[in-house]
Amino acid sequence: LQTPGAVFFIFGATGDLARRKLFPAIYSLYREGKLAEDFAVIGVARRPRTQEEFRSDIFNSIQEFCRYKTEDNEDFRSFAQHFEYKSLDINNVDGFRELNEQTMVLEERYHIPGNRIFYLALAPELFGSVSFNLQKGGMLDSAGWKRLVIEKPFGYDLKSAEELNEQIRQVFKEEEIYRIDHYLGKEMVQNIEVIRFANAFFEPLWNNKHIANVQITLGETVGVEERGGYYDHAGALRDMGQNHMLQMLTMIAMEPPSRLLPEDIRDEKVKVLRSLRPYAGAEEVGRNVVRGQYVQGSSRGKDLPAYREEDKVDPNSNTETYFMARVFVDNFRWAGVPFYIRTGKRLPVKTTEVVVEFKGMPNNVYLGQKHKLEPNLLVIRVNPMEGIYVKINAKKPGSESEIEPLAMDFCQSCMVGINSPEAYERLLHDAARGDSTYFTRWDEVATAWSFVDRIAEAWKQDPEGPRPYPAGSWGPEEADRLLAEDGFHWWPVN
Ligand code: BG6
């Protein structure tokens, strides 16, 4: 499906996100014929840049980060013709007026009917002033639709998120706002819905009668890289927990929507967030949540520095680089089923995985044998491997009645010819087509913040700080103990 003709404005065009994700995503859409010929992109940032320099930034970004490669040939040049650059101080309305003039020229050249999509790859503190100046500078007066796409983190806590939202809402309507959570653009996260709702195998078992627990892991091997300044202020709970982790949890736990329409799906997701059992105070947070910070360690023979030694990180920082929580969804379907969610930097593997552990079989003929039955597992691999596997018990070939677990494994990313679109491709395409299904609505963001704020509040009062864990390990041991209390353990991830 092609996007309708539109101008894409990338605010923060010289930044990391634009270079790593946005330009490559636009190019992939172009290559796949998903972008209408009548498109234009204006990169906006403070720093001066000639059109030539900007186009060569785009070329380099595609070469380095895009799943399609290109050469500096005719085809690339005609693509790059659609890109222009505007150096702009976002506090200066006159710059926006000039931007409007520049836009109108492009709209005329490419016969674009005034549709405008503003992507703010900027710090959230700037969302408000950019929105106001877009309005004052006449950028919202064109004939077509206008949409605002904004990156996470959406605020620092509920209060700041509300303030931010209020500012943006003075200019844009809720249905014009597309809040990105790029995990929702991942192929396998979207597949969760299909696996659940299109398979007679799973849906009847998808409840507390049959599921013992759910484990969601978002592990990263990287440290904070060049983002120490941002990360030390945010930490794992705000950087990953409030958004990606809770969003994945909602996809696993939501009720089937009555129709597959954006609002129906988002209604079901927000119900899950509202059903999260809030921790009653610091003591409950202490019993259910573990926070950690990496100290020196090693991985694959390489020594790794401690978090506190990283660039732009306070040497006495108490920011968590790991967090794990036992969460309950207090509704009819999930009462009593623990959801264990964990994420961390400098873990042993880069992986995003959901493990659904089913309850054991009732006392059966095999009990009393020397082989203990393993529980059935459904594992959804999101990243970097994409696939699903189901662990079942079967007779060991050649034995009398020995049972062994075996995996029925479907690896999507191993299949030749499958080159899954990147999350940002999918999301940019959706935003341009006006499909907000995989964007977070304000009430989702707000409800997630109120859950997370209680944890952050308890941590503020806890003098102990995060538990240290060696870089390259699976985080503090408390996280294992927490599952052991419930008679479970983490299933090894791949
Ligand atoms: C971002 C976080 O939202 O997600 C980063 O800010 C994190 O800290 C990243 O590294 C992980 O995304 P992905 O797609 O690589 O799993």
Give the distance (Å) from ligand 1 centre to CA of residue 21.
12
Burial class (CB in 10 A: 0-12, 13-18, 19+), 1: exposed
Give residue 371's pLDDT.
Answer: 64
The finding on whether 151 has its CB within 6 A of some atom of ligand 1 is: no
C-alpha closest to that of 153 among 269, 225, 240, 229: 240
The finding on whether 103 has its CB within 6 A of some atom of ligand 1 is: no
Q: Is the dihedral of CA 384, 389, 391, 395 positive or negative?
A: negative
Catalytic-labelled residue, pool 82, 111, 244, 429: 244
What is the C-alpha separation between 103 and 126, in angstroms, rounded?
22
**121 half-sphere exposure, CB direction, 13 A CA radius:** 23
**pTM of this structure:** 0.95
**What rounded mean pLDDT belongs to the chain?**
94
Residue nearest to atom 2 of ligand 1 (CA): 239
Give residue 122's pLDDT.
Answer: 94
The finding on whether 351 has its CB within 6 A of some atom of ligand 1 is: no
Give residue 396's pLDDT.
Answer: 86
Burial 42-56 (b: 16+ CB within 10 A, else e): bbbbeeebeeeebbe
The finding on whether 115 has its CB within 6 A of some atom of ligand 1 is: no
Phi-psi region of 235 (alpha: psi -120 to 50; beta: other; left: phi over 0): left
- Report the SS3 class of residue 406: strand
Give residue 364's pLDDT.
Answer: 62
Give residue 72's pLDDT.
Answer: 87
DSSP string, 42-84: EEEESS---HHHHHHHHHHHHHHH-SS---SSHHHHHHHTTEE
Q: Provide the token pair at 76.
A: 């690339």
Question: Per-residue pLDDT tens for 197-233?
Answer: 999 999 999 999 999 999 999 999 999 988 999 999 9
Question: Per-residue pLDDT tens for 271-284?
Answer: 999 999 999 999 99
Give residue 400's pLDDT.
Answer: 79
Residue nearest to atom 13 of ligand 1 (CA): 183
Give residue 420's pLDDT.
Answer: 78
What is the C-alpha separation between 437 and 1, in angstroms, rounded?
16
- Reading the chain (494 residues) residue by residue, the pLDDT tens digits are 888 999 999 999 999 999 999 999 999 999 999 998 899 999 999 999 999 999 999 999 999 999 998 888 888 999 999 999 999 999 999 999 999 999 999 999 999 999 999 999 999 999 999 999 999 999 999 999 999 999 998 999 999 999 999 999 999 999 999 999 999 999 999 999 999 999 999 999 999 999 999 999 999 999 998 899 999 999 999 999 999 999 999 999 999 999 889 999 999 999 999 999 999 999 999 999 999 999 999 999 999 999 999 999 999 999 999 999 999 999 999 999 999 999 999 999 999 999 999 998 875 666 555 667 889 999 999 999 899 999 999 888 988 778 888 999 998 888 777 677 889 999 999 999 999 999 999 999 999 999 999 999 999 999 899 999 999 999 999 999 999 999 999 999 86
Residue 82 catalytic?
A: no
Residue nearest to atom 4 of ligand 1 (CA): 240
Give the distance (Å) from ligand 1 centre to CA of residue 375.
31
Q: Which atom of ligand 1 is nearest to the CA of 383?
A: 16
ipTM exceeds 0.90, yes or no: yes
Most ligand 1 atoms within 8 A of CB, residue of 17, 152, 240 to mutate: 240
Give residue 153's pLDDT.
Answer: 87
Give residue 299's pLDDT.
Answer: 92
Give the distance (Å) from ligand 1 centre to CA of residue 193.
22
